[in-house]
Amino acid sequence: MSWWRLLLRDKFACVAVVILLLVFACALVGPLLLSDLATKQNLRAVNRPPFSLDDGWAFLLGSDSLGRSLLARLIVASRTTLSIAVPAVVISLVIGSALGMWAGYHRGWRENLAMRVADVILSFPSLLLAVVVLYVFSPSAGNIILVLAIARIPIYLRAARAESAELQSRLFVDAARTFGARSWAIIGRHVAPTVLPTLFTVATLDFCFVMLTESSLSFLGIGIQPPDMSWGLMVAQGREVLQSAWWIAVFPGLAIVVTTVSATVLASWARLAMDPGQRWRLTLPRSARKSAVRKSAVRKSAVRKSAVRKSAVRKSKEVKS
C-alpha cells in the first residue's frame, strides 16, 4: 500500500499535514504579499478586537498596540520562525547522523571519541547554552541557528551510532565488506537507508523543540529583535497588554502550539509508516488499531511476568539444591 493511501487512512495525520503545508505556504508566500501590511501602523485602529470585518479582512484577528494587522504579522512572522527551526534541524541532522554512522560502523576509538564529544555537549542544557552564547554575542538569526544546531547534534549522533553499530554486523553489510566495498560506500548504500527513517522521526520531533526554544529565546528578549518579528517575539510584546488585549499574545502562542502538535502527530505517523514491522497498524481502523496495541501490551506483560516467574522458580531450585 502506498504512503498516500496510508496517510488518507489516518485523519489526524492528514489534518497535521494540511496544517504544516499551510504554515510553510504562508512562510514562503506571505512575506512577499503582506510585508508592508504587517509593518504599517494605524493609530486609529489600536488594539482592535478580533473576529470583526469592519476594518477589512486584514484585521480579522485584531490589531496590536500600534494598530498593525495581527493576521499579517502572524503570516510574516512564520517565515522567521521556520527559517530558524528548519536550518537548525537540518544542520544538526546532517552533521550528527554522519558522525554517528561513522562512529557506529567503525566502533573502537572512533565511537568513544564521538560519544565523549556528545556527552560534553549534552552536559550543557541547550536553552542555557543558547542564553549564554546569545548574551555574549549579538542575538541574530544566524547565531541562534548556529547555537541550536550545535546543541542538537548529540541527539542525532547517539541515535545514528546505536543503529549503525547494530547494522555493522548484519549479513548484508558483511557481504558488502567481503566484496571489497569501502566503508563510506557501505554506510551510504546499506547503513544510511536503514537508519534514515529513525532519524527522520527524531528530526520531526526535534523541529518542535527547536521552534519552542527559539520562541523562548525571543520571549526572553535575546532572540529575534525588532523590527523583525517571530511568534515568540509577538507573544513577548503582547504580555504587557494581556488583560486588555489578550489576542496579541494568544494567537501567536496558539500558532506555536498548533504547529508543534501537528509536527508531533506527523512524526508519530511517520514512525509507523517507515517501519516495515509496524506499518500494518496503519492499515487497520483506529478502533482496531487501539485494540491491537492493547492486546500487544497485554501479551508483552504476560510474557514478562512468565519470565520473572520462571526465573524465581529457577533461583528457588538453586537455593534448595
pLDDT digits (tens, 9 = 90+) for 186-222: 877 778 888 888 888 888 888 888 888 888 888 777 8
Crossing angle of helices 108-122 and 141-167, in 10° steps, is: 140
Phi, psi of 69 (to 5 degrees): -65, 120
Q: What is the mean pLDDT of residues 70-95?
A: 89
**Cα-only R_g, the chain:** 25
Q: What is the mean pLDDT of residues 90-110?
A: 87
Q: Is the peptide bond before 227 cis (omega within 30 degrees of 0)?
A: yes
What is the structure's pLDDT at 319? 61
What is the structure's pLDDT at 91? 92
pTM of the model: 0.77
Share of the chain above pLDDT 90, in %: 4
Phi, psi of 183 (to 5 degrees): -60, -45
CA atoms of 129 and 117, how far apart (whole Å): 16
Fill in the amino acid letter for 312. Answer: A
CA atoms of 208 and 262, how far apart (whole Å): 9
Distances, alpha carbon 32 to alpha carbons 29, 118, 297, 298, in Å: 6, 40, 51, 54
Least confident of 48-57, 94-103, 168-177, 304-313: 304-313
CA atoms of 3 and 205, how far apart (whole Å): 20
Residue pair 135/147 in contact (Cβ under 8 Å)? The answer is no
Share of the chain above pLDDT 70, in %: 85
Three cell numbers written together for 225:
529583535
Least confident of 46-55, 63-72, 243-252, 275-284: 275-284
Three cell numbers written together for 285:
481502523
CA atoms of 58 and 290, how far apart (whole Å): 43
